[in-house]
Amino acid sequence: MLKVEGLNAGYGSVNILWDIGFTLAEGEIVAILGSNGAGKTTMVRAVTGMLKPSSGSVVFNGEDMAKKNSRVILNSGIVQVPEGRQLFTDMTVLENLQMGAFNKGTKAHFQENLKKAYGWFPKLEERAKQAAGTLSGGEQQMVAVARALIGEPKLLILDEPSLGLAPNIVDDILNVASTLAKNDGISVLLVEQDITKALAAADRGYVIENGRIALEGTSAELQANEHVKKAYLGI
């Protein structure tokens, strides 16, 4: 479904990513792991069209998205839950969810998908008329995830979903992602600093260090890797 090859990107004359490559199959959860500043967010921006790579390819369902704009990429089925949620805080929960229906197809299915969203996160129905900015951090993350899922993604990118949240909220969100991958064939790219949580949810993973892929393998292989244990898991 997604194949990234030779991806180089940065800001101005400063290169951040160096020959990044990874794959993601339909219905698979793949974790992109690494510490703060490793290049994970730059990689997400390059994949989603927010940053144009200097070279390399981002092939999604047979089409290279590397030079496409964000609207084309979004319409192709790549939908992101951004780091920090980026909600419209003065708007209600329902109004934020309506923003997820961004094109003719998703607008036509909005009520159906809204019902699903409330099934995933029942608290959102209770808070539907409440301003998003008054919600707890965990509830705001639920809004951000539900908004993305209302966009009917084929590939869902979760950028640092655990940031600043209680472990039980993170578990709820990752359980929803796992269910959608298993039952609906949605592919999930999980970009995380919390390697323990990420590897518990993912099928495979890649570790980014200094803008390069340093390690890759199944979740079990990475959990057993001595470098990962020492550098990231504190074992």
The pLDDT tens digits for 25-49 are 999 999 999 998 999 999 999 999 9
- Within this chain, do residues 148 and 160 fall inside the same structural domain, yes or no? no
Q: Of 152, 182, 205, which residue sits at a domain end?
A: 152
Q: 208: domain range?
A: 1-77+156-235
Report the distance separating Cα 122 and Cα 23, nearest Å. Answer: 34
Q: Of 152, 169, 186, which residue sits at a domain end?
A: 152
- Within this chain, do residues 46 and 73 fall inside the same structural domain, yes or no? yes
Of 78, 57, 79, nearest in space to 8 by CA: 57
Structure confidence at residue 204 (pLDDT): 97
- Within this chain, do residues 102 and 143 fall inside the same structural domain, yes or no? yes
Structure confidence at residue 84 (pLDDT): 85
Per residue in 52-76, pLDDT (tens digit) is 999 999 999 999 999 899 889 999 9
3 state SS for the chain: CEEEEEEEEEECCEEEEEEEEEEECCCCEEEEECCCCCCHHHHHHHHHCCCCCCEEEEEECCEECCCCCHHHHHHHCEEEECCCCCCCCCCEHHHHHHCCCCCHHHHHCHHHHHHHHHHHCHHHHHCCCCEHHHCCHHHHHHHHHHHHHHCCCCEEEEECCCCCCCHHHHHHHHHHHHHHHHHHCCEEEEEECCHHHHHHHCCEEEEEECCEEEEEEEHHHHHHCHHHHHHCCCC
Structure confidence at residue 164 (pLDDT): 85
Structure confidence at residue 45 (pLDDT): 94
- Within this chain, do residues 190 and 123 fall inside the same structural domain, yes or no? no
Structure confidence at residue 67 (pLDDT): 86
- Within this chain, do residues 102 and 1 fall inside the same structural domain, yes or no? no
- Within this chain, do residues 12 and 69 fall inside the same structural domain, yes or no? yes
Q: Of 152, 168, 198, which residue sits at a domain end?
A: 152
- Within this chain, do residues 54 and 100 fall inside the same structural domain, yes or no? no
Stretches in the chain below the pLDDT threshold 50 = none
